[in-house]
A and B are shown apart, each in its own frame.
Chain A
Amino acid sequence: MAEEAIFEFLHSEIVNYTLNKENGKENDLSTLEYIGYTTGYRIIERLTREWPRFKDELDTMKFICTDFWSSIYRKQIDNLRTNHQGVYVLQDNAFRFLTRLSAGSQYLEHAPKFVAYTCGLVRGSLANLGITSTVTAEVQTMPSCKFHIQVNRT
């Protein structure tokens, strides 16, 4: 419980700090996303040190949904969907940073602040596994959250 609380409190302070009203960055989620990106990029080295190479993209996504998610959020992704053309939707029905906020639509306007870091985290991890992507999140009713991953093919 202690380590989880520290991660949560630190995360919410990072959110407050980066979205500081005084320097006019109230709606600028890019810093937060970038912090997530670098964290994800680094953490993947540590998490995958015992793993063989992943077979394909889907295999990598499965790793993100299971091992990666449980080592960070203590639970797995509840639903993974894909159109097999580079779009993946990861659904977490009780997303850690939202579970204590609300169980409905109260505070919905604040939700983007609490998912931006995780978007970066996923993007960073995929980047270090060789997948360039764009990650966005969608919150309709808290505490459930959908992460859309669009793989960029060049």
Chain B
Amino acid sequence: MTICNLYIFDKYGTLLYYGEWNRLKHSGITKDEEAKLMYGMLFSIKSFVSKISPMDPKAGFLHYKTNKYALNYLELPSGVKFVLNTDNTSTGIREFLQTIYSKLWVEYVVRNPLWTMGTPVTSDLFEAKLNEFVKQSPLYGSKII
């Protein structure tokens, strides 16, 4: 079990925060380019899933898996999107992302008067709390393979 990286987007597709822990392979493009690609893909998957669904999709797109990693997606009613890459054996990631949202994002970003809406997060406090939270989580195992 391990946590690779985390993207936080707002409803307009702006990358608000990027965190990285056990990422073994880098894309070779800039962070901004990568974020645009990532957001574009998520946007497409979301619309694909809602079009192709044979039943009312309710929560819609939740995660996908490859043979090496899993991408977990959490979108809040306000349009904030949390994207967490983990290895594909991890469980309970949805609750984990919910906690990041309610205990860290809302507390230290939304309630920080010095954060302007729609801009990347620069608060050291949020970063420190997030790192602490990720590292004490059972999902954060030792480095893999």
The distance from the CB of A113 to the nearest CB of chain B, in whole angstroms, is: 9
A8's nearest neighbour on chain B, judged by CB, is B111
Q: Which residues of the other chain, B, contact A103 by a CB distance below 8 angstroms? A: 124-125, 128
Q: How many Å lie between the Cα of A143 and that of B128 in the bound state? A: 15
B107's nearest neighbour on chain A, judged by CB, is A100
Q: Quick check: A100 and B124 within 8 Å, CB to CB?
A: no
Q: How many Å lie between the Cα of A104 and that of B129 in the bound state? A: 13
Q: Digit string of B116-130 for contact with A (CB within 8 Å is 1, else 0)?
A: 000000011100100
Q: Is A88 interfacial (CB-CB < 8 Å)?
A: no
Q: Quick check: A106 and B111 within 8 Å, CB to CB?
A: no
Q: Quick check: A106 and B113 within 8 Å, CB to CB?
A: no
Q: Is A140 interfacial (CB-CB < 8 Å)?
A: no
Q: Which residues of the other chain, A, contact B108 by a CB distance below 8 angstroms? A: 100
Q: Digit string of A3-41 for contact with B (CB within 8 Å is 1, else 0)?
A: 001001100100110000000000000000000000000
Q: Is A69 interfacial (CB-CB < 8 Å)?
A: no
Q: Quick check: B112 and A101 within 8 Å, CB to CB?
A: yes
A-B contact count (CB 8 A): 33
Q: Is B114 interfacial (CB-CB < 8 Å)?
A: yes
By size class, the interface of chain B is 10 to 19
Q: Quick check: B124 and A106 within 8 Å, CB to CB?
A: yes
Q: Is A102 interfacial (CB-CB < 8 Å)?
A: yes
Q: Which residues of the other chain, B, contact A104 by a CB distance below 8 angstroms? A: 124-125
Q: Which residues of the other chain, B, contact A101 by a CB distance below 8 angstroms? A: 112-114, 123, 125
A103's nearest neighbour on chain B, judged by CB, is B125
Q: Which residues of the other chain, A, contact B107 by a CB distance below 8 angstroms? A: 100
- Which one of A103, A104, A110 has the greatest number of beta carbons of chain B within 10 Å? A103
- Which one of A9, A16, A106 has the greatest number of beta carbons of chain B within 10 Å? A106
Q: Is A63 interfacial (CB-CB < 8 Å)?
A: no
Q: How many Å lie between the Cα of A1 and that of B35 in the bound state? A: 34
Q: Which residues of the other chain, B, contact A54 by a CB distance below 8 angstroms? A: none
Q: Which residues of the other chain, A, contact B111 by a CB distance below 8 angstroms? A: 5, 8-9, 100
A110's nearest neighbour on chain B, judged by CB, is B114
Given contacts A100-B107, A100-B108, contact A15 B125 (CB under 8 A): no
List B residues at the A interface (Cβ < 8 Å).
Answer: 107-108, 111-114, 123-125, 128
Per CB-CB distance, the 9 closest pairs between chain A and chain B, nearest first, are A12-B113, A106-B124, A100-B111, A100-B112, A102-B125, A103-B125, A100-B108, A107-B114, A110-B114
17 contacts between A and B (CB under 8 A): A5-B111, A8-B111, A8-B113, A12-B113, A16-B113, A100-B107, A100-B108, A100-B125, A101-B112, A101-B123, A102-B124, A102-B125, A103-B124, A103-B125, A106-B125, A107-B114, A114-B113
